[in-house]
Structure 1
Amino acid sequence: MANLAASKLRAQLADPDSIIVCPVVQDGLSALVCLQQGFNNLYMTGAGTAMSLLGMPDLGLTTADDMVRNASMIASIDRTAPVIADADIGFPSWSPAQHTERYVLGGVAGLYIEDQVATKRCGYLLGKEIVDIDTFVSRIRAAAAARDSLSSNIVIIARTDSLQPLSSDEAVRRLQAAVIAVADVKQIVEVMKPTLCLLNMVAGGVAPLINSTEAHALGFKIVIWPYFATTAAAYLAYQPKVAKELQATGAIAERRDRPDGIAVVGVQELFELCGLSEYTAFDEDMGSTAFSDGV
């Protein structure tokens, strides 16, 4: 079940002189705007899906159906444009194999699976809990087996959130194990060579922002910009302008650096908009320590 979009994505990954810049979209409108602005690839955000579909922060509240339905809808807008979609952990109610099959049938070009526990949270929040390495590798192996059983060319990306709760050494160990389990792995370019790597650029996040030229020079193969469409959705009239900016320059200036005054908000502000503080307070009132490390 090879599809044109996945074939295009694989061709881009194989081209040593190209870098893939993915605007991160959460719904049909943001996807359409980016396609109209000339982007060749899209990335469906799990956090943005939670915010746009449920009006809630990304705390593992979306279901497999929510994610598959949204990813398939976005992929259907232009079947020739590769869409990489967040697949979280493969979901407790659906095995990673079944989840991969549904993404394949939806026309998604690539997906990534992470190593958090079932009660996962957005990777930008602290206090994440991680499964053991064997469980993580089994998820990747199951997704790859499903891909192969369908003769699909969908790209599987392994993601680890172990850097913050564990260590950089453990993050590398997990990604190397995922390589053995037949994944196209995300993270740490120099250590992971010759495996292709993806860079995650978040306005207001911990990592400094760089443009696509700089990312390519560092050796990254894909650059995604989470929340840019989600933040622009709060200022819908500005979204085409922000999309043009990313397309033209390979980066989006943060609010403090913007001469035009467009309020491109950061990830923490987005979570607060969706009630993160209230959810955290409720969690503490119920006697849980899930957010004891902060957010």
Structure 2
Amino acid sequence: MAAQQKGAAKLRQYLADPEKIVICPGVHDGITARMALHVGFDALYMTGAGTAVSRLGQPDLGLTTVDDMATNAGMIAGLDRNVPVLADADTGFGGPLMVARTTEKYILQGVAGFHIEDQVTTKRCGHLLGKELVEAETYWARIRAAAHARACMGSDIVIIARTDALQSLGYDEAVRRLKGAVEAGADVAFLEGMESREQMRKVVQALSPTPCFLNMVGGGVTPLINAREARELGFKIVIWPMCGMSAVYLGMREFARELKETGEIKERYVTADDGTRKVDGSVRDVFELCGLKECSAFDQEVGGSSFLKGV
């Protein structure tokens, strides 16, 4: 279990550091995770919406299974065990027994932290309309089930309690649900769909000393703020879940249109450190990002001969 525990231990160190705010780009597959690691993020967020659109080609309407989500989160977490991966766990995918099973799966995959929400099992993205919620007691039972499974596994995985109650039940009920979730074993509080900076400030104060989690969705209902502003408001974790999805959406749209309209995709060039021009985003660039040199070096280190003639 040592490898699986590294991310959770690191995340707890971050949460305990009064000067630290955890900024997580949303990633949904191997290449988006690799790029986020490459530019130096010290934590990643596996988005459930991104998992739905990338693995299923479907919207975030509760269509992913626990295996879809846990397997994807585990792949991302396995790329660098020193970098914590936080992951969406939707509603836990069922009643308390299923929530416990989900928790066990996420622990075994090396996930550092995950959030569970109070929507009905057929849930939807928190920034869509018409969300339906379970009763508070049902929600708290989910959190207790996750905490119990964590204790049984001897794990330190961080449980993040998310509520979508603000839209339909109001601020006071949302805060009540989060406080009850913390009493049930959650480590971090996540109020989804906040509509103003004042509401952001207010919930951090209401939940103190519990660390609070902020979701920055482009085109969503919550005003977008930067890391400095989030720190000043008191948040400890901020995710930008659309980071990878938007990049893929915009980039693929551009290249696909170019190929469709012109019959080709022209090479893009970049100036290298030595002053020479090279193709940007070449097949070798992608493979290097994903560990080409490291794979070759490992093979030779252990006595393999697969790559002696180069790659």
TM-score, normalised relative to structure 2? 0.74
Q: How does 1:65-104 map to 2 (within 5 A)?
A: 65-92=67-94, 95-104=98-107
For residue 169 of structure 2, give the secondary structure of its aligned residue in structure 1.
coil
Q: How does 1:225-244 map to 2 (within 5 A)?
A: 225-236=240-251
Structure number with higher relative contact order (C-alpha < 8 Å, ≥ 6 residues apart): 1
Partner of 1:12: 14
For residue 235 of structure 1, give the secondary structure of its aligned residue in structure 2.
helix
Unaligned runs of 5+ in 1: 239-295
Tell me the CA shift for residue 236 of structure 1. Answer: 3.8
Tell me the CA shift for residue 235 of structure 1. Answer: 3.3
Match of 1:179 among 161, 178, 182: 182
Q: How does 1:192-231 map to 2 (within 5 A)?
A: 192-231=207-246
One-letter amino acid matched to 1:228? C
Give me the whole-angstrom Cα distance separating, in 2, the residues matched to 1:177 and 1:92. Answer: 19
For residue 163 of structure 2, give the secondary structure of its aligned residue in structure 1.
coil
Give me the whole-angstrom Cα distance separating, in 2, the residues matched to 1:44 and 1:166. Answer: 28
Partner of 1:145: 148
One-letter amino acid matched to 1:100? T
Partner of 1:131: 134
Give me the whole-angstrom Cα distance separating, in 2, the residues matched to 1:109 and 1:32. Answer: 17
Do residues 33 (structure 1) and 35 (structure 2) align? yes
Give me the whole-angstrom Cα distance separating, in 1, the residues matched to 2:102 and 2:47. Answer: 16
Higher-Rg structure is 2
Do residues 22 (structure 1) and 37 (structure 2) align? no
Tell me the CA shift for residue 234 of structure 1. Answer: 2.0
Tell me the CA shift for residue 207 of structure 1. Answer: 1.7
Deviations 1:10-64 (A, max 9, x none): 0000000111000011111100000000001000101111001111100111111
Unaligned runs of 5+ in 2: 192-202, 254-311
Partner of 2:116: 113
Give me the whole-angstrom Cα distance separating, in 2, the residues matched to 1:227 and 1:143. Answer: 27
Partner of 1:55: 57
Tell me the CA shift for residue 70 of structure 1. Answer: 0.6
Give me the whole-angstrom Cα distance separating, in 2, the residues matched to 1:138 and 1:86. Answer: 18
For residue 77 of structure 1, give the secondary structure of its aligned residue in structure 2.
coil
Tell me the CA shift for residue 226 of structure 1. Answer: 1.3
Give me the whole-angstrom Cα distance separating, in 2, the residues matched to 1:192 and 1:43. Answer: 23
TM-score, normalised relative to structure 1? 0.78
Give me the whole-angstrom Cα distance separating, in 2, the residues matched to 1:143 and 1:211. Answer: 31
Tell me the CA shift for residue 237 of structure 1. Answer: 8.1
